[in-house]
Amino acid sequence: MRKIKITYLISILLMFSGLSKAQQNLTLFLMHDVPQANMVNPAVQNNCGWIVGLPGIASVHANYNNTAFAPNDMLRYNASVDSSYFDFDQIVDDFSNVELLKTSVHYTPIYAGLWVKKNYFTFAITEKVTTYNTITKEAAQLAWYGNTSFVGREASLKGLRANGHHLREYAFGLARSVSDRLTLGVHAKLLFGKGSVYMPRTKGGLTTDERNFGLIVNLDTEVKTSFPIDVELDDEGYVSGVALQDNVDWMSYMMNRRNLGVGFDFGLIYEYDDRTTLSASILNLGVVGWRTNVNTFVSDGTFVFTGTDSSSDFYDSEYVQELRDSLQHQFLPVPESGAYTSRLVPEIYLGATRKLNDHFNAGAVVYSRVLRNKIQPAVTLSANTYNYKMLNASVSYTAINGDYFNVGAGIGLKLGVVHLHAAADNLSGFMKMADQRNLNLRFGISIVPRCNEPREKATKSKNGISALPCYASPYKEDQKGRK
């Protein structure tokens, strides 16, 4: 019986997106002495008068998430022949109905924070490249086991999606203490889209005819793109080829301001008592409208594919090429389709710390990301330092994506006016990357001049009238009494 190699199926179904290309900062979230924690909780304030990120490397963030498996989960060793091989059977059997694959890179060349009276303002420019994809269990079974188990019935592709975008974000932040215990913060973000691949829906599936084993493909899906591509059509008006435009003006691409969007982040920090602090944030509430280089492709129909001859199968490159061409020819471009809108992926953080002594606290963070009506949760436990003049450090443990062996660390180091920060939710994972479902790293350098004493000390002297030290009683009666 014919089998479909996974690489072939992915290339067929994701032919418009090309690459399979997301974000959490669980360790950084409770490191409130690190100014860049403001990026994941807008209520975090810097204790110094002002801060500016070192131009070019103010902050860099990279993240990889795979809810289904780590690369080495499918690697097995055969001692009899002293060799390793890929065994995807157990991986596919353990698939849930829908699994997520996401990666992101966020580059912040410009960052600044400034106190104006009782208000802490921040500003950041960030390039964000993010992709988030969903893979269904039946699609994975079809990819690995082939169509043997689907003879006479449909292998559903419902929920299979590929999405990604490139944005430039201008974030304006404000944090203010509204009481002795509560601090609120907000980021208002102006977004300029650069490129996008968006699949709002996928329905249908692939059925193998039980008489002649021909493939009956019922594909109901839509692909929207905003990218400089050329689309070739056949005589019937179907898509025959998609390629990057010749001589793309990448400067115009990077400076494009027509794909406009807005977003908001909200955060709070609440001192529940002298030892307990609660914090929370919700990030990425927003949308982007795509207007330039827009193409929309729709497949809404059924076709039967029998191959080149009876001996052809899915291991035959010629057969696979013909199948891919046939699938591609099922897509009709939508003339003058106009703009489309894509939503950002919301993230929610809930955290708490409990002071252990004057310089250490224990913390916990519960995190959720909402994508395609699927909630991806994570829990982090950490031990953190605070109120040290030169150092803020954290050690964390995270459970995420069914992976319970993530030990992370974070550090904020003050070397005079130079401040360094780095945080990773799975530090050991960078030594054995093939064993990881989750990798996350953020680092950067800032300049913080004239910060020899905490800001809160300077603030107290400005609130109201300060009393002068009293070396002698001002009352004559008391003076007489002392004689």
- Report if residue 187 sits inside a domain: yes
- CATH number for the domain that contains residue 105: 2.40.160.40
Cα 116 versus chain centre, distance: 32
- Report if residue 462 sits inside a domain: no
Cβ(134)–Cβ(199) below 8 Å: no
- Report if residue 468 sits inside a domain: no
- Report if residue 53 sits inside a domain: yes
- Report if residue 480 sits inside a domain: no
- Report if residue 349 sits inside a domain: yes
- Report if residue 388 sits inside a domain: yes
Residues 61, 439: Cα–Cα separation, whole Å: 11
Side-chain-side CA neighbours of 278 within 13 Å: the count stands at 6
Whole-model pTM: value is: 0.77
Nearest one of 422, 404, 367, 434 to 62, comparing CA atoms: 422
Instruction: Please report, in tens digits, the pLDDT of each residue of the chain (483 residues total).
Output: 333 333 333 333 333 333 233 346 889 999 998 999 999 999 999 988 899 999 888 999 988 877 777 666 666 656 665 666 666 776 777 777 777 777 889 999 999 999 999 999 999 999 999 888 887 777 777 766 666 677 777 777 787 888 889 999 999 999 999 999 999 999 999 999 999 998 877 787 777 777 766 677 777 888 899 999 888 887 777 777 788 888 889 999 999 999 999 999 999 999 999 999 999 999 999 999 999 999 988 887 676 665 444 444 444 555 555 555 666 556 667 766 788 999 898 999 999 999 999 999 999 999 998 766 667 788 999 999 988 888 899 999 988 766 677 888 999 998 889 999 999 888 766 566 556 667 778 899 999 886 755 455 444 433 333 333 333 344 444 444 444
Question: How many domains in the chain?
Answer: 1
Which domain does 81 fall in, by range? 6-448
- Report if residue 467 sits inside a domain: no
Three-class SS state of 482? helix
Nearest one of 328, 331, 308, 330 to 319, comparing CA atoms: 308
